[in-house]
């Protein structure tokens, strides 16, 4: 037998990986001194299926719970700018989101079936919306996230109004994404205006076979009467197809215990439910927040392994938006970029997923001191920030920091050199942290100034 020629470092890695494999097989998590890339949700679970009232992995047979975020309407500029790999990656990596819902309105301005006052032709509108869907599907797929293609009826009230358009749409979508393990179809968002379960059932019996002709086992979600709330009614007469779930939507400042009672009836009757939309606001998406009721909802959903999607990934000036109104960033959001609802919801996602680190950003630098030393030098002393990789120093002779210079240091003391005598320098410092090759910055300290006299 040929002897191995292995150095100590390689041998240590080989032994460590072997131990990791054994421990993972036993369900034990071991913190090793090198980084092990976590498997994505889709890598872990593959395609999903419905067993009884549970969503499970076809790959492992274990129960799967999706904690997702819904876009606002991708028809509008409060929704489509956030359809990107960078945005979805931020949600996945910083806020424990493993699924995205792409909400495409069928009516209103730029609607798929009724384009309203949009100046483009209907064909152009539809082509644009399908392109946005594809961008979202591909981004989610690249990131190992699940994605819902949502036929978002609302003002049309009944899904039967545009049933012929829905048939063509889902035929095209299911053919295009038939081989994608992560794509889920939601065939009618919120039937309302007196639309009965009988009407919805008739619509579903038309659309589901069209999807199944191309994709035999994708999970399909069906809306329920009264803005997707009457799951108790549906549980008495469900559809006969496999891999079908039914929606329940709630907004915690409006929908409280009586609606949880409806969910309990549905669960007692064995109905598989998915909450494809919820908010901590009133039902309008505006008004007050009620996080106490929202917590009761999430506790119930977690207890029953029910998946849920928060409304909405948007900076629209309304309570339910996850981003602060006016926030210009399209990805990389820190806590300061989130709305009050966003802070609460995404903190809950992290906690309920076992990830207590809300973000990688280090804390704000609390204090800096400046001292002019001989030789036109400025010594900067920084109060240490826990978990910081280093510090970025920004300085200028202008209070506005116009034409400012920056430098970095990994130490809490740093000396600027070759400064100009009799000039006043303004200085501020922020901590940074490097994670997986990416740099995350905290907030700047208060500005300090000093005049160079030595």
123 catalytically annotated: no
The CA distance from 171 to 184, in Å, is: 14
pLDDT above 90 as % of the chain: 85
The CA distance from 269 to 247, in Å, is: 15
277 catalytically annotated: yes
pLDDT above 70 as % of the chain: 91
Residue 29 has pLDDT above 60, yes or no: no
Give residue-wise pLDDT tens across range 344-393: 999 999 999 987 554 567 888 999 999 999 999 999 999 999 879 999 99
User: Is residue 370 classed as helix, strand or coil in its secondary structure?
Assistant: strand
Residue whose tokens read 């030098």: 377
Q: Does domain 41-352 have CATH number 3.40.190.10?
A: no
The CATH number corresponding to 368-451 among 3.40.50.80, 1.10.760.10, 2.60.40.10, 2.40.10.220 equals 2.60.40.10
Of the candidates 186, 190, 293, 361, the residue annotated as catalytic is 190
Residue 386's pLDDT is 81
Of the candidates 186, 277, 282, 318, the residue annotated as catalytic is 277
Give residue-wise pLDDT tens across range 74-86: 999 999 999 999 9
Q: How far is CA 282 from CA 219, 252, 345, 383, in A?
A: 29, 7, 15, 43
Residue 356's pLDDT is 58
Q: Taking Cα atoms as reference points, which of 175, 265, 159 lies closest to residue 214?
A: 175
For 245-261, b/e burial (b = at least 16 CB within 10 A) is: bbbbbbbbbbbbeebbe
Question: What's the mean pLDDT when you consider all of the chain?
Answer: 91
Residue 355's pLDDT is 73
Q: What is the pTM of this model?
A: 0.75
Give residue-wise pLDDT tens across range 303-316: 999 999 999 999 99
Give residue-wise pLDDT tens across range 282-301: 999 999 999 999 999 999 99
Residue 21 has pLDDT above 50, yes or no: no
The CA distance from 91 to 53, in Å, is: 27
The CA distance from 5 to 200, in Å, is: 68
Residue 31's pLDDT is 38
The CA distance from 228 to 376, in Å, is: 70
Would you mind telling me the total number of residues written for the chain in this entry?
A: 454
Domain limits, CATH 3.20.20.80, in the chain: 41-352
Q: What is the mean pLDDT of residues 449-453?
A: 95
Domain limits, CATH 2.60.40.10, in the chain: 368-451
Q: How far is CA 358 from CA 333, 350, 445, in A?
A: 11, 6, 21
Q: Taking Cα atoms as reference points, which of 60, 119, 69, 84 lies closest to residue 332?
A: 84
Q: How far is CA 283 from CA 80, 227, 311, in A?
A: 22, 10, 11
């Amino acid at each position: 037998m040929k002897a191995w020629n292995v150095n100590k470092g390689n041998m240590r890695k080989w032994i460590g990986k072997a131990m990791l494999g054994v421990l993972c097989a036993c369900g034990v998590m071991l913190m090793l001194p090198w980084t092990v890339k976590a498997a994505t949700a889709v890598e872990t679970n593959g395609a999903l299926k419905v067993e009884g009232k549970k969503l499970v992995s076809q790959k492992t047979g274990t129960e799967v719970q999706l904690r997702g975020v819904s876009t606002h309407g991708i028809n509008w500029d409060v929704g489509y700018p956030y359809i990107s790999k960078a945005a979805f990656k931020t949600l996945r990596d910083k806020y424990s989101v493993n699924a995205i819902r792409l909400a495409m309105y069928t009516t209103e301005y730029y609607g798929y079936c009724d384009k309203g006052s949009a100046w483009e032709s209907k064909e152009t509108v539809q082509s644009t919306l399908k392109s946005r869907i594809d961008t979202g599907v591909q981004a989610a797929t690249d990131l190992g996230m699940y994605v819902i293609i949502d036929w978002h009826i609302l003002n049309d009230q009944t899904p039967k109004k545009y049933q012929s358009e829905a048939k063509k749409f889902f035929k095209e979508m299911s053919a295009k994404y038939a081989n994608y393990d992560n794509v889920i179809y939601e065939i009618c968002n919120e039937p309302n205006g007196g639309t009965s379960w009988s009407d919805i059932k008739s619509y579903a019996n038309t659309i589901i076979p069209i999807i199944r002709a191309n994709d035999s086992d994708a999970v399909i979600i069906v809306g329920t009467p009264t803005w997707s709330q009457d799951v108790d009614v549906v549980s008495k007469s469900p559809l006969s197809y496999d891999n079908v779930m039914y929606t329940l939507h709630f907004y915690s400042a409006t929908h409280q215990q009586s609606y949880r009672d409806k969910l309990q009836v549905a669960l007692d009757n064995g109905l598989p439910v998915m909450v494809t939309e919820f908010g901590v606001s009133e039902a309008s998406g505006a008004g007050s927040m009620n996080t106490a009721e929202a917590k009761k909802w999430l506790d119930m959903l977690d207890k029953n392994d029910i998946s849920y999607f928060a409304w909405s990934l948007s900076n629209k000036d309304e309570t339910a938006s996850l981003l602060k109104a006016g926030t210009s960033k399209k990805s990389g959001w820190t806590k300061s970029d989130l709305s009050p609802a966003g802070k609460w919801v995404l903190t809950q996602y992290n906690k309920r997923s076992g990830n207590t680190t809300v973000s990688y950003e280090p804390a704000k630098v609390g204090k800096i001191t400046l001292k002019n030393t001989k030789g036109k030098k400025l010594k900067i002393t920084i109060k240490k920030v826990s978990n910081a990789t280093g510090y970025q120093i920004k300085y200028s002779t202008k209070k506005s920091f116009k034409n400012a210079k920056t430098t970095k240091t990994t130490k809490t003391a740093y000396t600027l050199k070759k400064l100009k005598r009799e000039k006043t320098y303004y200085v501020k410092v922020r901590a940074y942290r490097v994670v997986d090759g990416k740099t995350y910055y905290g907030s700047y300290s208060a500005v300090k100034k000093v005049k160079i006299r030595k």
